[in-house]
């Protein structure tokens, strides 16, 4: 995918700018990636799914600097071929140098704060901002060192070849000029544009409200396998549980997409990512069975694994009701690693209160149609048959409790005596010593068991044991040293993200609720939402905080360069307009708005500001050269139209290879549709805002600085 993204961007540049120019731009990609990989090596990063996608994500934006430089060199060579390629290159790079440096640092400022996301997803996401920021920094150096050198070598005859060609009139530029003249003619037209933009923005955000675009941490992956966990009544013997599991396996195999089902009874299924996350590797009781289901290869079926699982859920749920079993379907998640998608932690002053509150929460979960695979932590395990030691009789016969304990261990356990070394077996084969099964499972297993004694010579063990009683087997849980009860469930149907379930369930639960931290005061009942919702909350909270830092950093950077409090606001105004493309893009593709979508939105802010900076810088350069404000505003958009379009196309093409990846699909959609929307809106919004709100004051300030008294009318930017 990395090679495909690189090749696609190079082909795009070749089609638009020509073969030689594409070679100049293409040179920047491997040089930048090589430098970034070197830093990865020194930082101890490995090449994995995240770091490679960070490089793919960088492809679309790291060519920006090279595109701006090469395009400006071409423009200089076309405008005045007599200068020669060396002088034209020096002047062209000097002209775009400062705004390019500022624009690059704004992109880095937009991406880098994401490296400080905390919690479980922090280390997972960190390589993306770190890798992309390093790539941008290196791309700046390459654009000012390697790209001019390559341009001199490869574009030497460009000016001579195009000197005799008549100037081309590009229809899009002519349309842009006509539109801008209309917008600058009256403030009413500009306000109309603003009203339309705000209306489209509210319409786009409204997609969240009507659930046309749903929020989720990460979407479901399309895998070739999944697991079914079956917890039968605790007294179910092993042979019975395996027999029942075979019945369910036969029902699952009726689905044409199910290839094989393997039943694991009395032991856990092979250790996997799901086993680690859901703790299934701890399942080893006779009444606990795991079904490992293998589907047909994803290339041989039309339905996704999640769609197949949803179609099988009714079969599994019906089987669970018939056998009085708790059933769970475990998909291999792309993330996040949590015990359950929907999880409520119940805290309280005592066990009785916790159990009462947890019971109410459980009933609310049960009443919600979207909640499936419901479970709790107060479910009893297999009951224990406990034999109490009679201290009085033991003293009379000369036996103690430790002797009885060792005898019981020998009676109910297997004792390995030897190991058979057989290379044909994947596992060790042991020879075990064991009491006959009929004796161990009988009503009185200690009958006829005799142990020697220094007091009585020998004694029957049944003489020193009281009548056995059954004891409940319940696991007690603590979190941060506080007693807690859990209610867990998965989500099915349209609302598969926990935020929607919590919005429904929250008002029905008459107790204090929180998400961020484990409550310190448990004198009254508290319900803490955990599971996928906690990870989602934590990531979006930190990304939102990072976005606030991004906006502040960009404002400070632009303020320092332009020395104006108003100009940064004009430059940053198009940032929210990218949502006009991002949210409808998620709706059109039927995708969730995920954590990676948020990353794309934040990164897109840097790209948008980058284009805006170059636009405003060109406006002020023309004002400094004596061009009138209106003409400077229009001609800047005309001059920067091509590189902005090329940058957008490079981002779209470079990001498109991520569209089929379940984790990074949201990132690709945000970059592609956000960049398209910003490219359509920014060349209009930024010049119009500049002209009507800050243009007059800035024109006077710049003219006063340069001693200009009578501005020129036109620059002939076409």
Helices of type H across 210-350: 238-252, 273-278, 305-323
Supply 638's token pair. 């005309």
Instruction: Give the separation between CA 343 and CA 364, rounded to whole angstroms.
Output: 13
8 A C-beta contact, residue 139 and residue 66: yes
For the record, the structure tokens of 665 come out as: 């699909």
Helix (H, G, I), strand (E, B) or coil at 654: helix
Contact call for residues 382 and 286 (beta carbons, < 8 A): yes
Q: What is the SS3 assignment for 289?
A: strand
| Beta-sheet pairing, 526-531 with 477-479 | unpaired
Q: Which residue, 55, 52, 50, is CA-closest to 122?
A: 50
The helix/strand/coil state of 346 is strand
Phi then psi dihedrals of residue 660, to 5 deg: -90, -5
State if pTM tops 0.75: yes
Distance between CA 228 and CA 161 in Å, rounded?
69
What does the block give as tokens for 677? 């929307």
Q: Report pLDDT digits (tens) over 465-507.
A: 888 888 888 888 998 889 999 999 988 887 788 888 888 898 9
Residue 72 CB burial class (10 angstroms; 0-12, 13-18, ≥19): buried
Average pLDDT over residues 278-283: 84
In this predicted structure, the answer to whether residue 540 has a pLDDT above a threshold of 70 is yes
Instruction: Provide the pLDDT confidence category of residue 158 given band limits of 50, 70 and 90.
Output: low
Q: Does 54 or 288 have the greater pLDDT score?
A: 288
| 430: phi then psi, degrees, rounded to nearest 5 | -110, 155
Token digits of residue 575: 């940032």
The per-residue pLDDT for range 620-677, each reduced to its tens digit, is 888 888 888 888 888 888 877 777 777 788 888 888 888 887 778 888 898 889 888 8
Structure tokens at 540: 């979006």
Residue with tokens 């039309």: 302
* Model pLDDT, residue 336: 66
DSSP summary character for residue 157: T
What is the CA angle 541-542-543, rounded to 5?
Answer: 95
Say if residues 41 and 6 touch (Cβ distance below 8 Å).
Answer: no
pLDDT of residue 716: 44
Q: What is the DSSP letter of 297?
A: P
> What backbone phi and psi angles, to 5 degrees, belong to 686?
-65, -50
Comparing CA positions, the residue from 576, 650, 681, 661 lying closest to residue 139 is 650
Mean pLDDT of the chain: 84
Question: What pLDDT score was predicted for residue 608?
Answer: 82
User: Is pLDDT larger for residue 344 or for residue 113?
Assistant: 344
pLDDT at 169 over 50: no
The answer to whether 444 and 437 are in contact (CB under 8 A) is no
């Amino acid at each position: 995918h990395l090679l495909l993204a690189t090749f696609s961007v190079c082909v795009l540049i070749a089609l638009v700018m020509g073969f030689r120019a594409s070679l100049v731009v293409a040179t920047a990609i491997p040089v930048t990636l090589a430098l970034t990989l070197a830093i990865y090596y020194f930082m101890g990063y490995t090449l994995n799914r995240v770091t490679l996608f960070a490089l793919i994500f960088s492809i679309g934006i790291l060519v920006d600097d090279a595109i701006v430089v090469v395009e400006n060199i071409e423009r200089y060579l076309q405008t005045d071929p007599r200068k020669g390629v060396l002088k034209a290159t020096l002047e062209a790079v000097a002209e775009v140098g400062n705004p390019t440096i500022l624009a690059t640092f704004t992109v880095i400022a937009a991406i880098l704060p994401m490296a400080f996301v905390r919690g479980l997803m922090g280390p997972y996401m960190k390589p993306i901002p770190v890798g992309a920021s390093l790539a941008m920094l290196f791309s700046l150096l390459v654009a000012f060192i390697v790209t001019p050198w390559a341009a001199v070598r490869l574009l030497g005859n460009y000016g001579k070849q195009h000197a005799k060609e008549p100037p081309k009139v590009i229809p899009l530029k002519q349309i842009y000029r006509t539109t801008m003249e209309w917008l600058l003619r009256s403030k009413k037209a500009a306000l109309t544009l603003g009203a339309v933009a705000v209306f489209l923005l509210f319409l786009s955000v409204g997609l969240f409200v009507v659930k046309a675009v749903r929020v989720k941490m990460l979407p479901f992956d399309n895998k070739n396998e999944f697991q079914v966990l079956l917890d039968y009544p605790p007294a179910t013997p092993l042979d019975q549980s395996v027999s029942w599991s075979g019945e369910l396996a036969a029902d699952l195999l009726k689905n044409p997409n199910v290839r094989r089902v393997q039943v694991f009874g009395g032991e856990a299924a092979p250790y996997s990512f799901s086993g680690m996350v859901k703790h299934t590797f701890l399942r080893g009781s006779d009444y606990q069975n795991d079904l490992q289901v293998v589907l047909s290869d994803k290339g041989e079926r039309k339905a996704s694994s999640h769609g197949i699982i949803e179609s099988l859920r009714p079969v599994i749920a019906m089987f669970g009701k018939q056998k009085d079993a708790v059933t769970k379907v475990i998909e291999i998640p792309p993330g996040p690693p949590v015990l359950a998608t929907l999880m409520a932690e119940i805290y309280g002053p005592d066990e009785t209160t916790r159990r009462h509150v947890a019971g109410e929460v459980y009933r609310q979960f049960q009443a919600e149609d979207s909640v499936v695979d419901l479970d709790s932590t107060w479910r009893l395990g297999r009951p224990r048959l406990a034999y109490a030691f009679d201290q009085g009789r033991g003293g009379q016969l000369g036996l103690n409790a430790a002797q009885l304990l060792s005898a019981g261990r020998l009676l109910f356990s297997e004792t390995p005596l030897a190991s058979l070394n057989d290379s044909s077996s994947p596992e060790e084969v042991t020879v075990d010593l064991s009491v006959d099964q009929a004796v161990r499972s009988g009503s009185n297993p200690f009958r006829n068991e005799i142990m020697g004694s220094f007091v009585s010579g020998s004694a029957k063990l049944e003489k020193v044991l009281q009548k056995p009683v059954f004891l409940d087997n319940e696991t007690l849980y603590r979190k941060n040293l506080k007693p807690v009860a859990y209610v867990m469930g998965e989500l099915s149907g349209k609302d598969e993200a926990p935020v929607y379930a919590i919005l429904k369930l929250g008002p029905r639960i008459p107790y204090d609720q929180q998400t961020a931290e484990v409550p310190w005061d448990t004198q009254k009942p508290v319900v803490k939402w955990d599971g996928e919702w906690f990870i989602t909350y934590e990531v979006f909270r930190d990304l939102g905080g990072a976005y606030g830092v991004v906006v502040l950093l960009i404002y400070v950077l632009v303020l320092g360069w332009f020395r104006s409090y108003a100009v940064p606001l004009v430059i940053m105004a198009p940032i929210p307009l990218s949502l006009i493309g991002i949210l409808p893009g998620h709706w059109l593709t039927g995708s969730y708005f995920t954590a990676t979508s948020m990353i794309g939105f934040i990164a897109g802010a840097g790209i948008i500001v980058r284009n805006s900076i170059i636009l405003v810088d060109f406006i002020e350069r023309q004002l400094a050269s004596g061009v009138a404000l209106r003409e400077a505003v229009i001609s800047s958009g005309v001059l920067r139209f091509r590189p902005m379009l090329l940058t957008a196309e490079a981002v779209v093409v470079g990001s498109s290879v991520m569209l089929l990846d379940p984790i990074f699909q949201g990132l690709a959609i945000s970059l592609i549709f956000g960049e398209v929307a910003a490219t359509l809106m920014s060349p209009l919004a930024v010049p119009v805002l500049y002209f009507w709100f800050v243009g007059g004051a800035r024109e006077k300030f710049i003219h006063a600085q340069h001693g200009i008294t009578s501005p020129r009318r036109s620059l002939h930017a076409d």
